[in-house]
Structure 1
Amino acid sequence: MRIFGVTGWKNSGKTGLVERLVTEITGRGLSVSTVKHAHHATDIDHPGRDSYRHRQAGAVQVLVASPVRWALMHELRGAPEPPLDDLLARLSPVDLVLIEGYKTATHPKIEAHRAESGQPLLAHDNPTIRAVASDTTPDAPVPVLPLDDTAAIAQFILAEVGL
């Protein structure tokens, strides 16, 4: 399984870029999965649901299955967050995994950048960033691609991972 990341500061366009890349790359006949890192507690479940009640009762894992999807929730219950490699090992095989976030992880990445954020480029200090996708033309130590040119960004990523 090949992996490539999309990183950047908050409100830099990461999620929208990942969404567009998934559409573009799957449209080329490749299979794609995603991993999204959140810095805060996140919950995909809701109070009152049976699965929520199972977790509240103390279950370590709750698997919810239906005719259209299944989801596995794992409660850490005070244990440390697992490393990215451990999480990737849990995914079913696909052609490409796009990883949103994980700025300091060692996998190759493209940095999403918007001038209005006022944030400096991460690419100057992060050797894992292979390109910048920006709404401007910042001075960068790596290639700069237009943030809205999804096809060009997808082509760059696919070439980088050998697909």
Structure 2
Amino acid sequence: MKLYGVTGWKNAGKTGLMERLVAEFTARGLAVSTLKHAHHSFDVDHPGRDSHRHRVAGARQVLLSSGTRWALMSELRGTPEPLLADLLARLDPVDLVLVEGWKRDTHPKVEAWRPEPGNPLIAPNDPTIRAVAAGGPVTLSDRPVFALDDTAAIADFIASEVGL
């Protein structure tokens, strides 16, 4: 599986770019999966539902299945967060895995950046960032800069980088 990341600070446009890239690559006939890193606790379950009750009771894993999808929820229960490589190994084979977050990991990335939040670019100090998708003026001499909404050009760049 080919792997490419989208990283950046909060409110930089990462999720919107991920959404557009998934749509672009699937329209090109590629099978795409995504991994999203969260820095906070999250829940995909709802209190009172059977699966939530199973987790609260202490289940380490709960697999929920229907005729349209299945989901496997794993509780860490104090064990360390899995590494990106360990999570990737759990995915079914696809053409491309797009990863949102994991800014400190070593996989290649595009940085989503907007001037409004006031955060600096990560790219100048991070060689794993191969390009910047900018929502404002950016000058970098050592890597490409794309408009944040130029999804096709960013997808072409990623496809070229990973050999798709």
Measured against the shorter chain, the TM-score band is over 0.9
Shift of 1:137: 2.7
The aligned counterpart of 1:7 is 7
The aligned counterpart of 2:85 is 85
d(CA) in 2 for partners of 1:55 and 1:158? Answer: 40
d(CA) in 2 for partners of 1:128 and 1:47? Answer: 40
In structure 2, the gaps of 5 or more residues are none
Shift of 1:117: 1.7
The aligned counterpart of 2:147 is 146
Letter in 2 for 1:59: A
Shift of 1:55: 0.4
The aligned counterpart of 1:18 is 18
Contact 1:137 1:144 in 2 (8 A): no
Contact 1:25 1:154 in 2 (8 A): yes
Shift of 1:135: 1.5
Query: In structure 2, the residue corresponding to 1:24 is in which secondary structure?
Result: helix
d(CA) in 2 for partners of 1:107 and 1:119? Answer: 22
d(CA) in 1 for partners of 2:91 and 2:39? Answer: 21
The aligned counterpart of 1:159 is 160
The aligned counterpart of 2:56 is 56
Number of equivalent positions: 163
Letter in 2 for 1:143: P
d(CA) in 2 for partners of 1:30 and 1:19? Answer: 14
d(CA) in 1 for partners of 2:20 and 2:126? Answer: 24
Aligned CA RMSD, in angstroms, stands at 0.6
Query: In structure 2, the residue corresponding to 1:3 is in which secondary structure?
Result: strand
The aligned counterpart of 2:38 is 38
Letter in 1 for 2:57: A
Moved runs in structure 1, 4+ residues, more than 6 A?
A: none
Contact 1:6 1:109 in 2 (8 A): yes
Using structure 2 for the length normalisation, give the TM-score: 0.98
d(CA) in 2 for partners of 1:120 and 1:91? Answer: 33
Contact 1:110 1:131 in 2 (8 A): yes
Question: What are the superposed Cα offsets for residues 103-156 of structure 1, whole Å, 9 maximum, x if unpaired?
Answer: 010000000001112111100111100000002231223110010111011111
d(CA) in 2 for partners of 1:65 and 1:51? Answer: 10
d(CA) in 1 for partners of 2:100 and 2:72? Answer: 20
Matched, 1:47 2:47: yes
In structure 1, the gaps of 5 or more residues are none
